[in-house]
Amino acid sequence: MIIKEKIIYKDAFKKEFEGVIVWDDSMNGKKPGILVSHMWSGQSEFEVDKAKALAELGYVGFAIDNYGKGRRANGPEEAQVLMDELNGNRPLLLDRMLLAVETLKKHKEVDASRIGAIGFCFGGKCILDLARSGIDINGVVSFHGLLDPPPAHPKKEIKSSVLVLHGWEDPMALPDDMVKLSHELNTYNADWNIHMYGHTGHAFTNPKATFPEKGLFFEPRSNKRSWNSMVYFFNEVFGR
């Protein structure tokens, strides 16, 4: 049976965050845990559904909250404001990702030695910054993520395996940005893979993305292929 649990977790300043942890209680023993980092509008059913899909694969999925309890966007303008708060303060963004990792590690269903993360759009930036921190976790996966490194790059060896899943026609991170990222990942000794999908723009995993004139559109084949690539990747890094 799939169990969903809302969880309130707090930072050092007692700021509250509200996440959703999902697992299959028919599976005995502790399981690898995987963070699901949200898009620019904040945690939503999209991320909770991804956490549920991970639970069905035998993981503990954790749809995290990087903005704070009750802080969700009702439209693009609000989403931009919320995202810009962390875009303009990448150390704070990283602190919130590290907080989510520690919260997941402490959950009773999780094997704290086996942790991964996935992220979508802005969430892709979040999980890449997590990897850039040098944290020793198993693997991170970016789906149509934002790829720019922090202005003050940590310049640490990247210990996490990295998988980047990206559309060739994504206007928010162009093919040249893929090349820059590959050089960065090489420089910091990452175990990395980048998969590019043709005829695919930004937000290709999101059925609600219906703005092809802006390069944002759902692409069913790339959605399926990218998820299957993620499944293979986590099977490998977790030794399953």
pLDDT at 103: 98
Q: What is the mean pLDDT of residues 43-53?
A: 97
Residues 58, 36: Cα–Cα separation, whole Å: 15
What number of CA atoms fall less than 13 Å from residue 126's CA on the CB side? 32
Strand order from edge to edge, sheet including 16-24: 2-10, 16-24, 60-63, 31-37, 110-120, 139-143, 161-167, 192-197
Q: Rounded mean pLDDT of the chain? A: 97
- Strand 2-10 to 16-24 pairing: antiparallel
pLDDT, one tens digit per residue, over 204-220 is 999 999 999 999 999 99
What is the share, in percent, of the chain residues with pLDDT greater than 70? Answer: 100
Residues 111, 149: Cα–Cα separation, whole Å: 30
Hey, which bits of 71-174 come out as E strands?
A: 110-120, 139-143, 161-167
| DSSP state letter for 149 | P
pLDDT, one tens digit per residue, over 120-161 is 999 999 999 999 999 999 999 999 999 999 999 999 999 999
- Collapsed DSSP state (helix, strand, coil) of residue 24: strand
Domain 2-237 has CATH 3.90.1170.50: no
What is the share, in percent, of the chain residues with pLDDT greater than 90? Answer: 98
pLDDT at 240: 77
Give residue 104's pLDDT band: very low, low, confident or very high (50, 70, 90): very high
* Sequence-distant (≥ 6) Cβ neighbours of residue 105 within 8 angstroms: 33, 112, 115
pLDDT at 229 over 90: yes
pLDDT at 219: 97
CB neighbours of residue 184 within 10 Å: 17
pLDDT at 165 over 90: yes
In 3D space, the residue among 71, 55, 60 whose CA is nearest the CA of residue 18 turns out to be 71
Give residue 113's pLDDT band: very low, low, confident or very high (50, 70, 90): very high
pLDDT at 99: 98
Q: What is the mean pLDDT of residues 89-95?
A: 98
Q: What is the mean pLDDT of residues 80-90?
A: 97
* Sequence-distant (≥ 6) Cβ neighbours of residue 189 within 8 angstroms: 157, 158
pLDDT at 116: 98
The residue with greater pLDDT, 240 or 27, is: 27
Residues 35, 50: Cα–Cα separation, whole Å: 10
